[in-house]
Amino acid sequence: MSTQSGSPVARLLKVVANVEEREVRAVLIAFTYFFFLMVSYFIVRPLRDAMGTIYGVDKLQELFTGTFIVSFIVAPIYAGIASRVKLDKFLPWVYGFIAVTMVIFFVLFAEGENDRWVAAAFFVWTSTFNLLTISVFWSLLADTFSKTQAKRLFGFIAAGGTAGTLAAPTFTALFVESVGTNTLLLISAAGFTVAAFLVKVLEKEKVKLAEGTPDAQKTTLQHKLGGNPFDGFMLLFKSPYLLMIALFILLMTTISTVIYFQLADTISKNFETREARTQAYAVIDLATNGITVFIQLFGTGRIISRFGVTVGLLLNPVIMVIAFLCVAFSPVLMVLGSVQVLRRFAEYAVAKPSREMLFTVVDQQSKYKAKNVIDTVVYRFGDVTSAWLSAAVLPYGVAGLAIAGVVVSAIWFPIAYLLGKRYEKINAAPATAAE
């Protein structure tokens, strides 16, 4: 991670992602941190999806409801602890706690790996902490890099996570049958432990950036956020800007869940064993992330810098209208898998970095508390409502779900446009942020 003047790493990052000399160390740490974070989740994600099929594809809406309830409970607990513990101490322990839970599930699976209730608990918990850990990561980044830095750097940093999502399913697809699914839980626990350590390292870099960058975030992590456990909800409902972000997320998750139901139904009918289903999900993840990481490394920053955040937000709904029309006419596994790859590519390569930039112009309370509510509770509310909708439509076939997806994507488009314009207005007048 050398950052000396004229170093090969600095010159390479300048060419690839327009990273300035003073930013190199922080960017590489964030890149590595996101890599281990996503490896830790994606190494068990195919197992989570396979657990969903064990519980029952026709009952997935129950798991989504459970996830929403747990997310609703966890959000105020998270905010309450953040109000009472200094952020520089609290953030690493989020990952430490999740590492412990992975070890607990390792023991539970050893006792009864096909138990439906253990499968349900694992599905719900991993679906909950996934959003929490990613929300913490992007909250810290939005609190470290300025809005101008975010446009250049967030796409490249996101590639670290995508590289992790590429490495994890590669390992799972190749070795799950030889090492066994339970071992994946211990690998996940180790990854979260490394992520906790890298949070501490990045916290130190935040201080250095604040001192050496004129427009960097000037906030500190050496304090408690204060307030109460429900501040995130109150901040959200007081801000039209944050509410618009929440609506964008809600529509995005609706699309994601519709595709998830389509794919789960098709995979459960085409593959009989847990290992085969786990491997199928891993292959889809592998294809998605291979495309995404290339765009994030070489294209995301340039796309957003050239065309703006609004275009980044609009890309996903436009692509999904076209994709769902394809599914409606040809609802087979190859098409569904391709649509899932396309959706995740559009979301992770461009839309998600664009979405995270929206939080660089809000205050620190909103970055950690309101953002957490949006990323977990609102996200899972979208999951649970669309899960029940999808379950109701599923008897009419995958083509019926595709038509529903087209309708939602058409509504999503104007929301994305209005949100992008709102961000640009706030960006031009920072004093009015999130009002």
**CATH number, position 103:** 1.20.1250.20
CA distances from 322 to 20, 170, 316, 382, 402 (A): 38, 29, 10, 22, 10
The string of pLDDT tens digits covering residues 140-161 is 999 998 888 888 888 889 889 8
Mean pLDDT of 198-217: 82
Mean pLDDT of 202-217: 80
The string of pLDDT tens digits covering residues 15-54 is 877 888 888 999 999 999 999 999 999 888 878 888 887 7
pTM score, whole prediction: 0.79
Between CA 259 and CA 264, with CA 260 as vertex, the angle to 5 degrees is 120
> Which pLDDT does position 3 carry in this prediction?
45
In a domain, 64, yes or no: yes
Domain, as residue range, for 220: 15-432
The string of pLDDT tens digits covering residues 85-122 is 999 899 999 999 999 999 999 998 887 666 788 888 99
Mean pLDDT of 274-298: 72
In a domain, 70, yes or no: yes
Q: Answer yes or no: is pLDDT of 193 > 90.
A: yes
User: What are phi and psi for residue 428, nearest 5 degrees?
Assistant: -80, -20
Residue 394: pLDDT band with limits 50, 70, 90 = low
> Which pLDDT does position 399 carry in this prediction?
66
Q: Compute the distance between CA of residue 230 and CA of residue 370 in angstroms, rounded to an integer.
A: 9
Nearest to 352 by CA among 304, 294, 407: 304
Residue with the larger pLDDT of the pair 129 and 292: 129
In a domain, 4, yes or no: no
In a domain, 277, yes or no: yes
- The two tokens of residue 53 are 């099929």
Positive or negative, the Cα torsion across 227, 233, 238, 242? positive
In a domain, 3, yes or no: no
In a domain, 10, yes or no: no
| Cβ proximity of 319 and 342 under 8 Å | yes
Q: Compute the distance between CA of residue 84 and CA of residue 362 in angstroms, rounded to an integer.
A: 21
**Percent of the chain having pLDDT more than 90?**
27
| Cβ proximity of 387 and 380 under 8 Å | no
Count of domains for the chain: 1
In a domain, 8, yes or no: no
Q: Compute the distance between CA of residue 208 and CA of residue 121 in angstroms, rounded to an integer.
A: 42
Burial of 423 (0-12, 13-18, 19+ CB in 10 A): buried
In a domain, 189, yes or no: yes
> Which pLDDT does position 306 carry in this prediction?
78
> Which pLDDT does position 381 carry in this prediction?
86
